[in-house]
């Protein structure tokens, strides 16, 4: 965990999960289960890297109580996840996404391309 990160009581954060609140804030509620290999990042340097801005964008992230986040999920800056929501394995939540309380988000089903 880097930067300004607040984690509620009885919340489990799995091995190799990275939570980066540098220059902003990541708030995670109580009784959450965040699996291993999850990435939660307030920072986005893509515009700076492409020469479109001199700054790194830093947006807060809020994760409610009783939230489950599956392995290899990615939560980007500005996201809000409501109480009791489920974010499935491999889901990428784009910047400023809002997940309603109790919602279930899963990654697309794999399909055979050839």
**Tens-place pLDDT, residues 18-56:** 999 999 999 999 999 999 999 999 988 777 788 888 888
The pLDDT of residue 48: 75
> pLDDT digits over 68-89, tens only?
999 999 999 999 999 999 999 9
Asked if 78 and 95 touch (Cβ cutoff 8 Å), the reply is yes
Q: What does the angle CA 10 – CA 14 – CA 19 come to, to the nearest 5 degrees? A: 90
Instruction: Identify the CA nearest to 71 among candidates 43, 39, 27.
Output: 39
Q: What domains, with CATH codes, occur in the chain?
A: 2-105 (2.160.10.10)
| pLDDT mean over 13-20 | 97
Single pTM value for the model: 0.90
User: For 79-83, 95-99, 108-112, which range has the lowest pLDDT when averaged over its residues?
Assistant: 108-112
């Amino acid at each position: 965990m880097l930067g300004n990160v607040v984690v509620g009581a009885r919340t489990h954060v799995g091995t190799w999960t990275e939570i980066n609140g540098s220059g902003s804030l990541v708030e995670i509620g109580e009784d959450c289960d965040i699996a291993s290999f999850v990435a939660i990042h307030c920072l986005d340097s893509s515009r700076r890297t492409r020469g479109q801005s001199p700054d790194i964008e830093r947006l807060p992230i809020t994760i409610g109580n009783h939230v489950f986040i599956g392995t290899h999920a990615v939560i980007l800056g500005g996201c809000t996840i409501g109480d009791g929501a489920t974010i499935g394995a491999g889901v990428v939540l784009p910047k400023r996404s809002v997940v309603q309380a109790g919602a279930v988000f899963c990654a697309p089903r794999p399909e055979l391309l050839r």
